[in-house]
A = this chain, B = another copy of it.
Amino acid sequence: MDDFVFRNPTRIIFGRGAESKVGVEARAYSGKVLLHFGGGTIKKTGLFERVTASLEAAGVGFVELGGVKPNPRLSLVREGIELCRRHGLGLILAVGGGSVIDSAKAIAAGVPYAGDVWDFYTGKASPVEALPIGTVLTIPAAGSESSTGSVITNEEGAFKRALNSELIYPRFSALNPELAFTLPRNQVANGIADIMAHLMERYFTNSRPVELTDRLIEATLRTVIAVGPAVLRNPRDYDAWAELMWSGTVAHNNLLNTGREGDWGSHDIEHELSGIYDIPHGAGLAVVIPAWMKRVYRHDPVRFVQFAVRVWGVDQSFRDAEATVLEGIARLEAFWASIGLVLRLKDLGIGNDRFAEMASKCSSGGKSTVGHFIPLGKKEIEDIFELAK
């Protein structure tokens, strides 16, 4: 097991009506908050009213900033920073899914910083302070409600880049599974892919032995595999949604990578796709990950055998490890297909004309690599696009 430091301070308020408790939580940090959200669905569903009523009951004022899009944009982040400064806001309350929360985190880090917030995403600077963040989660997927990560797209050049910092752990997150009942089917499926990707990025590691965290990841994957189809069959199945929503948080709250190094190459590769083609992150991951697996499994077939047997219940071919490995990957693909995800770039409408460009961008023009299971340079990234086409 690798040495590690772990702390996750997010307070989780889980259950029906959780969104009506955020006023009191927010009040502990500030009397005036930025209420950050997406396309306005929350105004149609009544969620906006419940959240603002909770704020008002706690004596917390707010300034609204809606309009966050999937693959959240730097320009809106800048607007949010400006609003916080102008109105002296002391907390960002994100009401939405991963994009809204990631945008809130960027704003929170940007407000006390004299330079350009994009510096944090290019690695030019690291945040030394941030405004506190609270969330009301509406989509089980990104895990941003209790994570250190934020991913933002800079429209100038279609760069999609990530910031990781303990300073942007949300202070509190309200998780009400009922809020997911009305999600469109494709968004649910993309969310399931995203959750599973977070688990698999942690699973495929060179750190060993990592018995406990292996088993915890396998446990969470099996839960998602069990309840994912259930929420698609019956979108009002509270119990199944509760399992899926809590799995999405546990998948990405950093407990499951304690003592091990994750891979994250597939995420970096997917960011090139969604940065340029503006596809949903989960949909991109469903295409990239099986291709990544086919490219890298020979590096450590035993780990892939364990994945096949323990996660997918594959009947192990003891004399033919490769057969077991490939059956595990096939089961993953079959599962994703069964919930309506597509598995090839061409089915996302993406041709092979920009593979070289994306591989170059992802590897800083061939000068760097992504991923840890095996480091992927420009050539290997192109191989993966080819396997995914």
Q: Which A residues are closer than 8 A to B by beta carbons?
A: 1-16, 18, 209, 211-212, 215-216, 218-220, 222-223, 226-227, 239, 242-243, 246-247, 250, 255, 258-259
Instruction: Verify A1–B212 contact, CB threshold 8 A.
Output: no
List residues of chain B with CB within 8 A of the CB of A6: 11-12, 14
Task: Determine the distance from Cα of A16 to Cα of B2 in the docked complex, in whole angstroms.
Answer: 10
Q: Tell me the bound Cα distance from A239 to B259 in angstroms.
A: 11
A26: min CB distance to chain B, Å: 15
Q: Contact between B12 and A5 (Cβ–Cβ < 8 Å)?
A: yes
Q: How far, in Å, is A114 (CB) from chain B's closest CB?
A: 26
Apart from A212-B247, A255-B255: 12 A-B pairs, beta carbons within 8 A: A1-B243, A1-B246, A3-B15, A3-B18, A5-B13, A6-B14, A209-B239, A211-B223, A215-B222, A216-B219, A218-B219, A242-B259
A129 to chain B, nearest CB (A): 16
Name the distance in Å between A245's Cβ and chain B's nearest Cβ: 9
Instruction: Decide if A15 touches B11 in the complex (CB within 8 Å).
Output: no
Tell me, rounded to whole Å, the shortest Cβ–Cβ distance linking A193 to chain B. Answer: 18
In whole angstroms, how far apart are the Cα atoms of A42 and B279 in the complex?
A: 58
CA distance A14 to B255 in the complex (A): 13
Chain B's closest residue to A221 (CB) is B215
* Bound-complex Cα distance A6 to B250 (A): 12
B14 touches A258 (CB 8 A): yes
A209 with B243, Cβ < 8 A, contacts A219-B218, A223-B215 known: yes
Tallying the copies of this chain within the complex gives: 2
Cross-chain contact B15 with A4 (CB below 8 angstroms): yes
Smallest CB separation, A244 vs chain B (Å): 9
Query: When the two chains form their complex, are residues B220 and A246 in contact, meaning their CB atoms are under 8 A apart?
Result: no
Contact A258/B246 with A15-B3, A215-B222, A216-B220 known, Cβ cut-off 8 Å: yes
Let me know if A220 and B212 touch, CB within 8 A: yes
A247 to B16, CA, bound (A): 31
Given known pairs A222-B215, A246-B258, A246-B259, the reply for A12 and B4 (CB within 8 Å) is yes
CA distance A6 to B173 in the complex (A): 10
Q: State A212–B225 Cα separation when bound (angstroms).
A: 11
A220 contacts across to B, CB distance below 8 A: 212, 215-216
| CB pair B7 A14 closer than 8 Å | no
Q: How far is the CA of A1 from the CA of B238 in the complex (A)?
A: 9
Could you tell me the distance in whole angstroms from the C-beta of A237 to the nearest C-beta in chain B?
Answer: 10
Q: Which of A212, A218, A258, A259 has the most CB of B within 10 A?
A: A212
CB-CB nearest in chain B for A216: B219
6 nearest CB pairs, A to B: A3-B15, A215-B219, A7-B11, A1-B242, A219-B219, A212-B223
Q: A216: which B residues are within 8 A, CB to CB?
A: 216, 219-220, 250
Q: Which residues of B contact A4 (CB under 8 A)?
A: 12, 14-15
Q: Contact: B259 with A14, CB < 8 Å?
A: yes
What are 17 contact pairs spanning A and B, CB under 8 A? A1-B239, A1-B242, A1-B243, A4-B12, A4-B15, A7-B11, A8-B8, A9-B9, A12-B258, A14-B259, A209-B243, A211-B223, A212-B219, A212-B250, A215-B222, A216-B220, A216-B250
Residues from chain B with Cβ under 8 Å of A10 in the complex: 7
Complex: chain B residue closest to A256, CB-CB: B216
A258 to B13, CA, bound (A): 11
Determine whether the beta carbon of B1 is less than 8 Å from that of A16. Answer: no
- How far apart are A216's CB and chain B's nearest CB, in angstroms? 5
Give the distance to chain B from A206, nearest Cβ to Cβ, in Å.
15
Q: Which of B1, B16, B226, B243 contacts A3 (CB 8 A)?
A: B16
The reply to whether B211 and A227 form a contact with Cβ atoms under 8 Å apart is yes
List chain B residues, Cβ under 8 A from A2.
15
